[in-house]
């Protein structure tokens, strides 16, 4: 069994915030893969289903971001899981918007949701880091992550979430390479080999030749000049 955790803040006020991209990823997985309706348990919203041969629990803590670890620790103990059975989907300031990276263990890099999870289960869990970009000033981070994604981000955000859903079976089975390939095919699809080649440009006419000067001589003068 695997436990997939999405990080975010509960309630309609926060639903479209950059900080809630972890919730968005789990919602897409649940919708696309026929998971059970969400129900309240472990101070969280919980949904159950299968990804390939693997039973998977989806968990969206409703304790607010800074206390996410309470919910995660409670669920881990109830299902008798190890921390290495847990994968956390979260926003990542240090990745450009639309980038996705998988990380095994490590620090929390100041992310309050990860910090809380560290406190309750330790650092040995997997993360799917979802790039939202950085506002450029550390003092602006709080306001930035708690603002909604702008309309201009809708296309890359949809591609990223679809890519995660496409590859999530491989992620559950531990094949992070195939998972990342599935994401890449959505966010950076290869160009078609059947695309028409650019048309050759016709070179402009050469400008070396100078136009002949008009001949103002009379026909008689032209004839006389021939015999000079």
Q: Can you give the length of the chain in residues?
A: 228
- The domain total for the chain is 1
The pLDDT of residue 196 is 52
**C-alpha gyration radius of the chain:** 31
- How is residue 211 written in tokens? 């136009």
Q: How far apart are the first and last CA of the chain?
A: 109
Give a yes or no: residue 125 inside a domain.
yes
Q: What is the pTM of this model?
A: 0.80
Round to whole Å and give the CA distance between 171 and 51.
Answer: 9
Give a yes or no: residue 140 inside a domain.
yes
Pure H helices in the chain: 21-32, 68-78, 112-121, 141-145, 154-172, 176-187, 219-226
Give a yes or no: residue 212 inside a domain.
no
Q: Please enumerate in sequence order all residues whose Cβ is within 8 A of that of 116, keeping only pairs 6 or more positions apart, or say none.
A: 65, 66, 67, 68, 69, 70
Sign of CA pseudo-dihedral 93, 59, 26, 188: positive
Strand, helix or coil at 228?
Answer: coil
pLDDT in tens for each of the 228 residues of the chain?
999 999 999 999 999 999 999 999 999 999 999 999 999 999 999 999 999 999 999 999 999 899 999 999 999 999 999 999 999 999 999 999 999 999 998 877 778 889 999 999 999 999 999 999 999 888 899 899 999 999 999 999 999 999 999 999 999 999 999 999 999 999 887 655 454 545 555 555 555 545 555 566 666 566 556 555
The helix (run of H) or strand (run of E) holding residue 57 is strand 54-61
**Edge-first strand listing for the sheet containing 2-6:** 39-41, 44-51, 54-61, 2-6, 86-92, 126-131, 100-104
Give a yes or no: residue 63 inside a domain.
yes
CATH at residue 23:
3.40.50.1470
Round to whole Å and give the CA distance between 79 and 57.
Answer: 10
Q: Using alpha carbons, select from 109, 107, 72, 74 the residue that is nearest to residue 87.
A: 72
Q: What pLDDT, in 10s, does the model give residues 12-61?
A: 999 999 999 999 999 999 999 999 999 999 999 999 999 999 999 999 99
Q: Using alpha carbons, select from 96, 138, 104, 100 the residue that is nearest to residue 123.
A: 104
Q: Partners of 103 in the beta sheet?
A: 127
Give a yes or no: residue 210 inside a domain.
no
Give a yes or no: residue 40 inside a domain.
yes
- Angle (nearest 5°) at CA 95 between 94 and 101: 115
Q: The domain containing residue 56 runs over which residues?
A: 2-187
As annotated, the active-site residues are: 19
Give a yes or no: residue 201 inside a domain.
no
The pLDDT of residue 106 is 81
Give a yes or no: residue 204 inside a domain.
no
DSSP conformation letters of 9-39: --SGGGTTBGGGHHHHHHHHHHHHTTPPPPE
The pLDDT of residue 212 is 55
């Amino acid at each position: 069994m695997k436990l997939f955790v999405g990080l975010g803040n509960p309630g309609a006020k926060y639903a479209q915030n950059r900080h809630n991209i972890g919730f968005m990823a789990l919602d897409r997985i649940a919708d696309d893969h026929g998971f059970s309706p969400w129900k309240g348990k472990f101070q969280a919203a919980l949904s159950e289903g299968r990804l390939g041969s693997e039973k998977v629990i989806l968990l969206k803590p409703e304790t607010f971001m800074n206390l996410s670890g309470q919910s995660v620790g409670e669920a881990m103990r109830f299902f008798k899981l190890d921390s290495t059975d847990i994968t956390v989907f979260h926003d990542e300031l240090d990745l450009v918007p639309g980038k996705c990276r998988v990380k095994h263990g490590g620090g929390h890099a100041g992310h309050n949701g990860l910090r809380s999870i560290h406190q309750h289960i330790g650092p040995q869990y997997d993360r799917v880091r979802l790039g939202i970009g950085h506002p450029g000033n550390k003092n602006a981070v709080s306001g930035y992550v708690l603002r909604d994604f702008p309309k201009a981000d809708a296309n890359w955000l949809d591609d990223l979430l679809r890519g995660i859903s496409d590859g999530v079976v491989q992620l559950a089975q531990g094949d992070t390479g195939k998972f990342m390939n599935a994401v890449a095919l959505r966010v950076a699809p290869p160009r078609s080999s059947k695309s028409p080649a650019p048309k050759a440009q016709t070179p402009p006419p050469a400008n070396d030749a100078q136009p002949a000067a008009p001949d103002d001589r009379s026909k008689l003068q032209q004839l006389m000049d021939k015999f000079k």
